Amino acid sequence: MLLEGGRAGLVGTNTTSQTNSRESGLDYIVANQGTILDAIASMPWGGSAAVHVAIVNWIKGKTSAKKFTLARQNGTRKDGPWEVYELSHIPSSLSPLTDVTKAVPLRANTTTKLCFQGLTHGVKGFLLSPAERGALLKAEPDAVDVTYPFLIAEELIGSVDSLPKRFVIDFQPRHDLSEVMRYKRTYNLIKERVLPEIEAKAEREEKRYNRRLGQLQRWWLLRRRKEELIAKLSEIERYIACGRVAKRPIFEFISSEIRPNDALIAFPLADDYSFGILQSSFHWEWTKARCSTLTERYRYTTDTVFDTFPWPQWSNDLVDNDDKKPSEREALRIDTAAHVAEKARDLWALRNRIRTDNGSSLRELYRSLEVPGTNALREAHEKLDRAVREAYLYGMPKQMAKLSALELLLKLNESCASKEQSGATVVGPGLPDFCRDYSRFYSDDCITLK
């Protein structure tokens, strides 16, 4: 036990200040009279392993110091540039920005189920090359019902066309073997390529743990098939996706005929407004502050990021336009939301045009934002961010306009959580109910094989 005035420190991975690791470590220290004296939030560690570490020093009790040093090294090189901050206190998040570690999940987000990690196939035998799929369809045309393009994050972000290069055999929702056997050639294919591997795994499991592998009961189905996600995708033409682990904020519309791999996060939302909110710097700043990391990249998480992220609330109660009629207020609200959708479409169209002209991947395109100079993509993002800020400030007290994105989102999270506790309803993810004009909020462009 550390005595009053005692000092201690730690060296750990840079996830020390994130999610569950932070809650059981630095949160406990700060909540129990600990004061963080200085810290390195992240720096690449020497050696062959691509590991980023955090270094934290603290004292139990108070200190006479007025300033505390927090540093972060960017990139993967040992001689990479440093960011150094002198702060009045260092939070457990090891962030110089607004501390959003206390944000809580919102029922409006958790109950709508609009954020999913993609599908995990588990066994390579479920995967088909385009040639293999073509041969299968030639022999068994009905196999088109159970074979789908299977997109991974590297293809979405790193290839010029963002198209999947493989297909996946996905029999869901066929839970009974008799339903699967109707597709005779496809069934025989996975019986040969999948079943032996799962049986071998089941035998190992039984020997080691004295229990039978549950996956063996439905061996013809993917390991994690995300049935709720697939059901939602069957109702819409396209959805939004991003890399589950990514360095840059890149979201895209994907055709619902394409299955997302577990390297993607899928949002079963088809409207341009939702794309604009997710692609905005508001959502990205929240993501960086709330997610965990893998080396220098950000790992998007449903529970810590999406479930706590407050969407614009659209209250007419505090709108500074008392001279307006209710119908005029409603028109203003719709126009403000439609402005987000419009700027989202503009950004999406610009990205596609630049990619087509330059033969660029999304990764290459977004790397251009990291160098100085006039950049049409940067300008399009700035216009989208202004439209999103207008949406967040709609109906809010005037003083909210002075807050940074993280400050505004944290206050909104606190407000929404308080309202939910009192039984009130708050606006959750997706297109608000008052946006009924399809033409203003929906387009039909997306990544598709057609």
Residue tagged 């206050």 (tokens): 411
Q: What is the pLDDT of residue 83?
A: 62
Q: Which contacts of 174-180 are long-range, i.e. CB under 8 A and separated by 24 or more positions? A: 174/146, 174/220, 175/218, 175/221, 177/220, 180/220
- Judge whether residue 272 has pLDDT over 70: yes
Residue-wise pLDDT for 400-413, tens only, equals 999 999 999 999 99
Nearest of 222, 261, 221, 224 to residue 241 by alpha carbon: 261
Q: Which residue has the higher pLDDT, 106 or 87?
A: 106
Residue-wise pLDDT for 335-352, tens only, equals 999 999 999 999 999 999
Q: What does the pLDDT average to over 245-265?
A: 96
pTM: predicted TM-score of the whole model, two decimal places: 0.82
**Which of 31-45, 247-261, 401-415 shows the lowest per-residue confidence on average (mean pLDDT)?**
31-45
Q: What does the pLDDT average to over 360-381?
A: 95
Q: Which residue has the higher pLDDT, 161 or 6?
A: 161
Secondary structure (H, E, C), the chain: CCCCCCEEEEEEEHHHHCHHHHHHCHHHHHHCCEEEEEEEEEEECCCCCCCEEEEEEEEECCCCCCCEEEEEECCCCCCCCEEEEEECCCCCCCCCCCCCCCCCCCHHHHCCCCCEECEECCCHHHEECHHHHHHHHHHCHHHHHCEEEEECHHHHHHCCCCCCCEEEECCCCCCCHHHHCCCHHHHHHHHHHCHHHHHHHHHHHHHHHCCCCHHHHHCCCCCECCHHHHHHHCCCCEEEEEECEECCCCEEEEECCCEEECCEEEECCCCHHHHHHHHCHHHHHHHHHHCEEECCEEECCCCCCHHHCCCCCCCCCCCCCCCCCHHHHHHHHHHHHHHHHHHHHHHHHHHHHHHHHHCCCHHHHHHHHHCCCCCHHHHHHHHHHHHHHHHHHCCCCHHHHHCCHHHHHHHHHHHHHHHHHCCCCCCCCCCCCCCCCHHHHCCCCCECCC
pLDDT band per the 50, 70, 90 thresholds, residue 11: confident
Record the tokens describing residue 327, joined without a space: 């119908």
The strand pairing partners of 35, in sequence order, are 59
Query: What is the pairing mode between strands 147-151 and 259-260?
Result: parallel
Q: Which range, 67-71, 76-80, 174-178, 200-204, is most confident?
A: 174-178
pLDDT band per the 50, 70, 90 thresholds, residue 118: very high
- Judge whether residue 281 has pLDDT over 70: yes
Find all residues with CB under 8 Å of 243, minimum gap 6, and list them: 153, 156, 157, 250, 263, 264, 265, 300
The strand pairing partners of 9, in sequence order, are 57
Nearest of 382, 380, 351, 383 to residue 364 by alpha carbon: 351
Nearest of 284, 274, 273 to residue 250 by alpha carbon: 284
Q: What is the pLDDT of residue 258?
A: 98
Q: What is the pLDDT of residue 40?
A: 76
- Judge whether residue 78 has pLDDT over 70: no
pLDDT band per the 50, 70, 90 thresholds, residue 28: low
- Judge whether residue 416 has pLDDT over 80: yes
**Which of 54-58, 105-109, 444-448 shows the lowest per-residue confidence on average (mean pLDDT)?**
54-58
Q: What is the pLDDT of residue 347?
A: 98
- Cβ(255)–Cβ(446) below 8 Å: yes
- Judge whether residue 380 has pLDDT over 70: yes
- Judge whether residue 290 has pLDDT over 70: yes
Q: What does the pLDDT average to over 11-30?
A: 61
- Judge whether residue 79 has pLDDT over 70: no
- Considering the chain, what is the average pLDDT of its residues? 87
pLDDT band per the 50, 70, 90 thresholds, residue 445: very high
Record the tokens describing residue 261, joined without a space: 């791999």
Q: What is the pLDDT of residue 101?
A: 85
Residues of the chain above pLDDT 70, percent: 80
- Cβ(300)–Cβ(244) below 8 Å: yes
What value, to the nearest 5°, has the Cα angle with vertex 442 and ends 270 and 435? 95
Q: Which residue has the higher pLDDT, 229 or 45?
A: 229
Residue 282: count of CB within 10 angstroms of its CB: 24
Per-residue burial over 163-176, b if 16 or more Cβ lie within 10 Å, else e, is: ebebbbbbbbebee
